[in-house]
């Protein structure tokens, strides 16, 4: 039973690696950004709530994201395993997730920290060419990531659930390293 949580700075390749691995392992790739967009598109009760925050440029509150994750993990395709990408982002969310997984007998998750140096990540994100990806904005996002998510690395490290992968190598090398670590 494979249950993985992907951590790493923006541009480290989490989404790409999660998709490749999920396909390889035949499990669900659960991206919280994707869940949010889907819920808003389908106008589910949670989606309608989320839409009001998004429309006003606000961050979707933790409780709402947690409700979406809980709803998604209760779907039948999650039973055989999953990769969570984009959640948890802070220790309070990790504690919520731990309780949820214990309650639903879905424990045993491992956490993959895809690490890459800031300069590498900045270069990658600038190369994507999205109009909101200016160097200033990217540096700010990295700062927020390091402040909010770094404590998660300690949190999972203390629980001996953390696997750190060097994200500063080719996509293929990262995939190979992930497959190797998960097979062992």
Contact (CB, 8 A) for 82 and 3: yes
Residue 98 has, within 13 A of its CA and on its CB side, a CA count of: 13
Cβ neighbours of residue 115 closer than 8 Å, sequence gap 6 or more: 8, 9, 12, 164, 165, 166, 167, 168
Give the integer Cα–Cα distance in Å for 54 and 132.
16
Active site residues per annotation: 14, 89, 128, 130, 141
């Amino acid at each position: 039973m494979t249950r993985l949580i992907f951590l790493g700075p923006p541009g480290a390749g989490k989404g790409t690696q999660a998709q490749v691995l999920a396909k390889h392992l035949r499990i669900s790739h659960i991206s919280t950004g994707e869940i949010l967009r889907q819920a808003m598109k389908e106008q589910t009760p949670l989606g309608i709530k989320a839409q009001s925050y998004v429309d006003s440029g606000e961050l979707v509150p933790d409780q709402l994201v947690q409700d979406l994750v809980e709803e998604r993990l209760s779907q039948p395709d999650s039973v055989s395993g999953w990769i969570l990408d984009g959640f948890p982002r802070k220790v309070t969310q990790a504690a919520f997730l731990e309780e949820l997984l214990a309650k639903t007998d879905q424990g045993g998750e491992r956490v993959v920290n895809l690490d890459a140096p800031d300069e590498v990540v900045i270069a990658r994100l600038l190369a994507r060419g999205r109009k909101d990806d200016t160097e200033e904005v990217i540096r700010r996002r990295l700062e927020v990531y390091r402040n909010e998510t770094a404590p998660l690395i300690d949190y999972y490290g203390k629980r001996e659930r953390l696997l750190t992968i060097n994200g500063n190598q080719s996509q293929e090398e990262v995939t190979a390293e992930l497959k190797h670590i998960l097979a062992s």
